[in-house]
Amino acid sequence: MCGIVGFIGNQQAYPILIKGLKRLEYRGYDSSGVSMIENQEFNQYKCKGKVADLEALVSGKDISGTIGIGHTRWATHGVPNDVNAHPHLSGDGNLSLIHNGIIENYATLKEALMEQGHVFKSDTDTEVLVHFIEDIMSKTGSDLFEAVRVALCEVVGAYAIVVMDRRHPNRLVCAKKSSPLVIGIGAEGDYFIASDATPFIEYTKNVVYLEDEEVALIDRQSGLKIVTIQNQQKDPYIHELELKLEAIEKGGYDSFMLKEIHEQPRSIHDSIRGRLNLNHGMLKMSGIDRHEEIWMNANRIIIVACGTSWHAGLVAEYLFEEFARIPTEVEYASEFRYRDPIIQQGDIVIAISQSGETADTLAAIELAKEKGAFIFGVCNVVGSTISRATHSGAYTHAGPEIGVASTKAFTAQVAVLYLIALSVADKRGTLSKERLHRLMAELSTIPDKVEEVLKTNDLVESIAAIYKDHRNALYLGRGYSFPVALEGALKLKEISYIHAEGYPAAEMKHGPIALIDEEMPVFVIATQGHSYEKVVSNIQEVKARKGKIIAIVTAGDKTVSELADHSIEIPKTDDSLVPIVSVIPLQLLSYHVAVMRGCNVDQPRNLAKSVTVE
């Protein structure tokens, strides 16, 4: 969602801000803006559209200043247009502010401010906040740092903000609650602020993650000072980042999505490396080992997540129940948080999130924590809010995922959840040693099997060409392949805008079968294994109604291949590992269809990479 960049230091701010905004484009946005201070005046520009439109707008204009802020806006309050774009100015024109999040009580604040004569130009909650800060400054005589702190005590909602005062170009103030904000400490008095570290990775690896309800002052003379909104002084804790610049570049691919699909052999390998010791038949999951007692006594697992991460959670449900024999439920985080869920002794809540910033997942964690649950996180972004909010966890090592459509994060999540399930099963003695070692050995072959599947790219592209103009698609799977059907459908709809539905194959006859005719492509995960014969029957049912079958089959399969209109072979593996391998052709298919339809695969319309609002 909205992207934030700020800079104060000894260089010109604009080039840093604009490059930073480009790096944050992946988050999803519809307008952008920058503001720099020079000679105690703002050089401020903003417009609807892409960062490239902003660059065109500022061309030939004064962009000087060694302090500045930049923003990409994903519209919440008010349509995407030039006026609603950030930064927003205070009524007196002295303050300029950017914001990510939603101020829930903005209407009440706005009404009170209007009664006092404030006039608003935009429809945004953000403009209300900057007027509110101005109001506090003028009434109390406090400086910007103090006024922001006081204002935020009154604010209900989520925010990451950066604000500056044109009369004091030596200071930048930022704060956050439930939306991410990271401060980079560069050389020789340069400071960077951003929604994540990607905008300033080439300048510094030293970062401070701001915590919820903390306000930071960055002063050219005195450096960084942090207080809570309750005015308690905090010592900044400096983390060292491992992120490399290459990881956030396209590396010769046409899109991040394609690059990330192809990175999967490596990202799965990185996610299991060091955790799987085949020579000694041992699993090392330190987040599990440290809390062995809790896992040994677990009565129930509740998985909370959204989107693709929720699909990974569905795979994990099967894994935990089959291997560790722990009853498992998978919940949409957004639903879990808005009822009164029953948490009992022995419940473990697993939160899965690529970004580690998803607002609904974070809120579900907070709720489960309040109710006394032990929370285990599976996140990809090191140091992210969710990874810090959980009691323990395991990182996926997929590397930065920039494409909005999640690909390598999904397979890494399933791989890590697989290790967790095996490790817990090992501790609880619910799997025989022989089966455990067989599954461990099979898991270690998965990166190579994924590499093998990537070779189907040309075949998948030719199938994409046949179905690219269809308006609907069905995805079917059973058992471990049901979540893959959901994931395949999500991939197609989110980047190609074709309506697609995923179903458990057996459910088809309870409704969706009415949709089947010669115009309906049906993608079926029909690998040999537990419910193979049943899936074959489901395929027959589709064929009898003239539906088109595109089947993902086990290498060498004859039965399905003869029935299907097209079949894509994947190497044989255990049922429980099929999701990691079978999802690959579905990712490739969505990619090719979207490209052929002229869609922007990395930044699909209306979508954001990290959904930091509820």
Binding-site ranges for ligand M6R (CB under 6 A): 306-309, 353-355, 358, 361, 404-406, 490, 494, 610-611
CB contact at 8 A, 56 and 47: no
Cβ neighbors of 432 (< 8 A, separation 6 or more) are: none
Strands (E) located in 492-560: 499-504, 521-525, 548-554
Closer of 48 and 609 to ligand M6R (Cβ): 609
What Cα–Cα distance (Å) separates residue 127 from each residue in 132, 323, 582, 614? 9, 53, 48, 20
For residue 103, the 8-state DSSP code is B
Q: How far is the CB of 309 from ligand M6R (least distance, A)?
A: 4
Residues annotated catalytic, as ranges: 2, 609
Q: How far is the CB of 384 from ligand M6R (least distance, A)?
A: 9
- DSSP class per residue in 496-509: H--EEEEEEGGGGG
Distance CA(364)–CA(306), nearest Å, equals 11
CB contact at 8 A, 206 and 187: no
Distance CA(473)–CA(416), nearest Å, equals 30
Strands (E) located in 74-222: 88-89, 95-100, 159-165, 171-177, 182-185, 191-194, 206-209, 214-219
CB contact at 8 A, 562 and 539: no
Q: How far is the CB of 159 from ligand M6R (least distance, A)?
A: 19
Closer of 33 and 180 to ligand M6R (Cβ): 180
Closer of 120 and 253 to ligand M6R (Cβ): 253
Q: How far is the CB of 591 from ligand M6R (least distance, A)?
A: 12
Site of tokens 């799965």: 268
For residue 87, whether the previous peptide bond is cis, meaning omega lies within 30 degrees of 0, is yes
Q: What is the separation, in whole angstroms, between the first and last Cα of the chain?
A: 11
Burial (Cβ within 10 Å: 0-12, 13-18, ≥19) of residue 434 = exposed
Closer of 380 and 567 to ligand M6R (Cβ): 380
Closer of 298 and 365 to ligand M6R (Cβ): 365
Distance CA(10)–CA(531), nearest Å, equals 65
CB contact at 8 A, 381 and 197: no
Token duo for residue 156:
């209900």
Q: How far is the CB of 359 from ligand M6R (least distance, A)?
A: 9
Closer of 125 and 494 to ligand M6R (Cβ): 494
Closer of 151 and 490 to ligand M6R (Cβ): 490
Closest CB to ligand M6R belongs to which residue?
307
Q: How far is the CB of 197 from ligand M6R (least distance, A)?
A: 16
Q: How far is the CB of 2 from ligand M6R (least distance, A)?
A: 15
Distance CA(41)–CA(61), nearest Å, equals 14
